[in-house]
Structure 1
Amino acid sequence: MTELSGIHHVKIPVADLDRSRDWYTTVLGLRVAIEFAEDRVLHGLALVDPAGTLSLALRLDPARAAGLAGFDLVALRVPTRDAVQGWSRRLTEIGQPHGGVVTGHDGGSVLIGLHDPDGIEIRLYAD
């Protein structure tokens, strides 16, 4: 049988790569692993978390980024419910607006209302 084993990466459209690089590295603590250039112009970035368990790609595409503003595109897994609370405290400490922690549909903890520079919502979720 043919199998799937998870998600390799999620690609997020952005209007400004430098601004988004700063946000994803500062707010989420990701680091740039690869830069993608076409005709010597930077068009995308691959980002990873320190543990190497999460991979996000940013792709320069202002129109698509604008179309996704306000949409909760992805929920990133957080190891524990306490860790979601920790994220809430950390984001508040660095002045990053968010909507707080709510109970998810299976009783998990979800940090909502965290928006990247293009207004795309990134949720943090623990079962």
Structure 2
Amino acid sequence: MPDLSGFHHVKLPVADLHRSREWYTSVLGLRVDIEFVEDGELMGLALADASGRLRLALRLDPARAAALSGFDAIALGVPKREEVESWRARLDDLGQPHGGIVTGHKGGSVLIGLHDPDGIEIRLYAE
């Protein structure tokens, strides 16, 4: 069987690209890599972290964004458990509500309850 090397990117639906761009860049520190314009209208964004290893796409799709509200669609990896604590402090400084840090199923640290502007939960996880 041929090998797989991981995810190329994850795509999330959003109701408002401008609002989501602001949130993902200011809260998670991602940068816009590509803007997808169709018929003169901004329809999607490709975002990446500073290293380019974490890639996330946002697609304008209000109905699907509403359907995912409250669901923990993705867990982003954090290199070390101590850094989950740093993320909690950063989110607190930004006034971003979250559910605190819990122990994951394999003993890692997981920051839960962080929601993007559409209510999609994003967890931060370190083994």
The TM-score bracket by the shorter chain reads over 0.9
Stretches of 4+ moved more than 4 A in 1?
none
Instruction: Say yes or no: does 1:44 pair with 2:44.
Output: yes
Name the TM-score, length of structure 2 as normaliser: 0.99
Residue segments in structure 1 that go unaligned for 5+ positions in a row: none
Please provide the CA RMSD for this pair.
Answer: 0.5
**SS of residue matched to 1:13:** strand
- Counterpart of 1:90 in structure 2 is 90
What is the letter of the counterpart of residue 15 of structure 1?
A: A
CA distance in 2, matches of 1:83, 1:7: 22
Name the TM-score, length of structure 1 as normaliser: 0.99
What is the CA-CA distance between 1:119 and the residue it aligns to?
0.1
What is the letter of the counterpart of residue 69 of structure 1?
A: S
**SS of residue matched to 1:112:** strand
CA distance in 2, matches of 1:92, 1:112: 13
CA distance in 2, matches of 1:2, 1:73: 27
What is the CA-CA distance between 1:85 and the residue it aligns to?
0.5
CA distance in 2, matches of 1:50, 1:5: 20
What is the CA-CA distance between 1:2 and the residue it aligns to?
1.1
CA distance in 2, matches of 1:52, 1:2: 24
Residue segments in structure 2 that go unaligned for 5+ positions in a row: none
What is the CA-CA distance between 1:61 and the residue it aligns to?
0.1
CA distance in 1, matches of 2:2, 2:79: 29
